[in-house]
Structure 1
Amino acid sequence: MGKQKNPSRTAENEAMAKARMLRASPQKLNLVAALIRGKKVERALSDLTFSKRRIAQDVRKCLQSAIANAENNHNLDVDELVVAEAYVGKNLTMKRGRPRARGRFGRIIKPFSELTIKVRQIEEQA
C-alpha cells in the first residue's frame, strides 16, 4: 500500500558523482569534461592532474568521488572502471556591474555550472 521505491539512476555496473556550484562557465568546464570522456579512470586522473586549466582540479575531485562511490557503494573493481559519461549543466549566474563612461553601466556576468560523472565497470576482453 505504500509508495514504490524510486528507480535507480545508474545501472548495476555504474556509479555516479555530481559537483554543483562550480565557479566556471559551462563552456569552459565542458572542454575539461571532454578531455576525460571514454577513458580509463587512471588515465583520466593523470590527465586532470597535469592539466593547466584551473577547473581541472574540481573535475578531478568529482571523478575521485565517483570512483569511491563505485568501490564502496557498488562493490565495483577500480582497475576496470571507465568514464562512461561526463556532462555539464548550467547553474545560477551572479550579476555584477561596474560603472562605465557617460553614465552607463557595464554588466559583469559570473556563471556557475554543475558536473555529473558516471563511471562504468567494463570487463576486459581476452
Structure 2
Amino acid sequence: MLLKKQTEVYALGQHIAMSAHKARRVIDQIRGRSYEETLMILELMPYRACYPIFKLVYSAAANASYILGSNEANLIISKAEVDEGTTVKKLKPRARGRSYPIKRPTCHITIEVTDVSLPKYVPRTFLDWKENSLERLKKPKSKKKYTTVTYHTMYSNGGVWDKK
C-alpha cells in the first residue's frame, strides 16, 4: 500500500485591487512553467497585475522551501487560479445633485507550486501500519459528558426578602 506524500504548497492573495479578468491574462501565461522561468516572465511583462502575482509566486516558493525543504530549481507552477472577490462600491457626486456609482473590483489569486524532485507516493511499511492501528485502538470511542444539576430555591438564596 502506498501513502500519498505532500509535494504541493500554495500561497494565497486575497482582496487584490484589480479585476479578475486582468489578472487571468497574466496567470494564463505562467501556468505549468518552472519557477525561474515564471519570475523572468513576470519581470518583463508590462501589465500591472504582474507585481502582486510575482510576490505570490515568490511567497509560494518560500513556503515550499520551508515546508518541504525543496530547492527553487525543482519547482513548477502546478496550479494558478483567479477568483473574483468583493466589489468595493462608492458614490461619486456629479452635477445637479446626482451621484455616479464607482465599482472597484477585487480578486483572490491562488498559486500552487509542486516539487518535481520529490516522489508523490511513498511505500507504506508494516511498522507504520501497526503503529497507526495501535493509536486508533488507544483513542476513546466516545466522550462521556457529566452534567451537574443544581437546585435553587428562594429559601437557599436568602428568599424574596433579602435585599442586597
Kept after mapping to 2: 8 A contact 1:13/1:76:
no
Aligned to 1:46: 40
Task: Indicate whether 1:58 and 2:52 are aligned.
Answer: yes
**Cα distance in 1 for residues equivalent to 2:77 and 2:63:** 13
Bigger radius of gyration: 2
- Structure 1 residue ranges, 4+ long, deviating more than 6 angstroms after superposition: none
Unaligned runs of 5+ in 1: 1-10
Aligned to 1:79: 73
Query: Whose strand fraction is larger, Structure 1's or Structure 2's?
Result: 1
- TM-fit CA distance, 1:102: 6.4
Aligned to 1:37: 31
Aligned-partner SS, 2:39: helix
Task: Indicate whether 1:25 and 2:29 are aligned.
Answer: no
Number of residues of Structure 1 aligned to a counterpart in Structure 2: 113
Question: What is the aligned-residue identity percentage?
Answer: 30
Aligned to 1:8: none
Unaligned runs of 5+ in 2: 118-164
CA RMSD between the two structures = 1.6
- TM-fit CA distance, 1:97: 2.6
Which segment drifts farther, 99-108 or 69-78?
A: 99-108
Aligned to 2:109: 115
Q: Give the counterpart of 2:88 among 82, 86, 94.
A: 94
Q: TM-score normalized by structure 2? A: 0.64
